[in-house]
């Protein structure tokens, strides 16, 4: 422990100073990435600001806290696509979406979904297509009475909120215009009619899907405005955060989900910490978890990360 304290009084290299600043201010743990990659991405910001090198950038970052946003954007890897990791979407379509639609009658005929880290919008529109497909093919409910089956049913209102820190990516998502070659080859054949091909070689989600989806700029480290959700999809986003901040975010997810709601993580991510006790596994392979009853404790919004003491 004394060695750790001594290190704090030793001048850091510019790269390590930047690294520590990101961990302490934003909880971004960069240790899993190669140093050569990180330096290349940081140099993108150095050149954009016309600074002499990493030394000047480390000082600039301390004096200009608003620079954390552009730097985080430069470090983020935007890998997305329609129906990415098909087996996960197959499970959502077969099990999760029908379950959420069945229980929507007891929840004011609405389904609330959050796509956290939605990038340019492919994931939210893929989810909207799933709901549309299941609604179109939905027959009488097995647990409904004969009177309920004969009575006209009010269709549930599905609202999917996509959030991301990158405003430029969100603008692309709101335009809802995607290259036909990348979209039509990725989506299941039976949902293709929910997307409209245009003469210019682009494809747009049908108006029905667009009415389901909205986009907002948001950081997972900000206080969550979301409550009483039915489904949270946050895939390959937690990997950018330190384990301590991942634990805090997962606890907030547990707080934001209603009992019986679902959480979907990326295949390289895991559910751990205090939040783990409030979920059961719905699909281990696809990292899908179902919310149990109970109220998980959540740290105060904006609370700083805990640090080891040198006492």
Reported as a single tens digit per residue, the pLDDT across 77-100 is 666 788 988 999 999 999 999 999
Domain membership of residue 240 (yes or no) is yes
Q: Same structural domain for residues 120 and 252?
A: yes
Residue 207 clears pLDDT 50, i.e. is over it? yes
Residue 52 clears pLDDT 80, i.e. is over it? yes
pLDDT at 141: 39
**pTM of the predicted model as reported, rounded to 2 decimal places:** 0.78
* Mean pLDDT, rounded, for 131-153: 58
* Mean pLDDT, rounded, for 117-137: 94
Domain membership of residue 58 (yes or no) is yes
* Mean pLDDT, rounded, for 56-83: 83
Domain membership of residue 11 (yes or no) is yes
* 91 φ, ψ (degrees, to nearest 5): -70, -40
Domain membership of residue 30 (yes or no) is yes
Q: Pick the residue with more confidence: 140 or 116?
A: 116
Domain membership of residue 181 (yes or no) is yes
Nearest to 118 by CA among 68, 75, 163, 171: 163
pLDDT at 173: 95
Q: Same structural domain for residues 125 and 98?
A: yes
Which residue segment(s) compose the domain that 228 sits in? 86-140+152-291
CA–CA distances in Å: residue 247 to residues 40, 174, 273, 299, 300: 29, 31, 6, 10, 14
Helix ranges, the chain (H) = 2-8, 14-26, 35-48, 54-63, 68-75, 86-91, 97-103, 122-137, 146-150, 167-175, 180-184, 207-212, 243-256
Nearest to 34 by CA among 75, 69, 64: 75
Q: Among 212-226, 252-266, 290-304, whose mean pLDDT is lowest?
A: 290-304
pLDDT at 167: 87
Q: Same structural domain for residues 49 and 177?
A: no
pLDDT at 306: 38
């Amino acid at each position: 422990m004394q060695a750790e304290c001594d290190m704090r009084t030793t001048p850091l290299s510019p790269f390590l100073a930047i690294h520590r600043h990101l961990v302490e201010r934003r909880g971004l743990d960069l240790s899993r990435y190669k140093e050569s990659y990180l330096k290349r991405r940081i140099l993108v910001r150095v050149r954009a600001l016309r600074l002499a090198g990493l030394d000047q950038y480390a000082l600039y970052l301390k004096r200009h806290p608003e620079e954390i946003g552009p730097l985080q954007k430069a470090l983020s890897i935007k890998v997305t696509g329609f129906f990415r990791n098909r087996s996960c979407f197959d499970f959502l379509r077969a099990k999760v979406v029908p379950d959420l639609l069945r229980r929507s009658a007891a929840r004011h005929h609405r389904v609330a979904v959050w796509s956290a880290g939605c990038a340019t919008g492919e994931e939210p529109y893929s989810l909207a297509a799933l709901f549309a497909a299941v609604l179109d093919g939905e027959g009488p409910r097995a647990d409904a009475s004969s009177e309920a089956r004969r009575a006209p049913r009010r269709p549930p209102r599905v609202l999917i909120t996509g959030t991301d820190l990158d405003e430029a990516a969100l603008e692309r998502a709101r335009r809802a215009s995607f290259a036909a070659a990348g979209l039509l080859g990725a989506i299941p054949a039976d949902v293709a009619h929910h997307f409209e091909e245009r003469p210019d070689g682009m494809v747009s989600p049908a108006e029905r899907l667009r009415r389901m989806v909205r986009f907002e700029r948001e950081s997972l480290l900000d206080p969550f405005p979301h409550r009483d959700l039915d489904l949270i999809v946050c895939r390959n986003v937690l990997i950018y955060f330190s384990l301590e901040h991942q634990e805090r975010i997962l606890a907030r997810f547990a707080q934001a989900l209603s009992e019986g709601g679902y959480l979907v993580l990326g295949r390289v991510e895991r559910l751990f910490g205090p939040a783990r006790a409030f979920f059961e596994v719905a699909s281990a392979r696809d990292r899908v978890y179902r919310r149990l009853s109970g109220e998980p404790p959540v740290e105060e919004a904006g609370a700083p990360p805990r640090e080891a003491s040198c006492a």
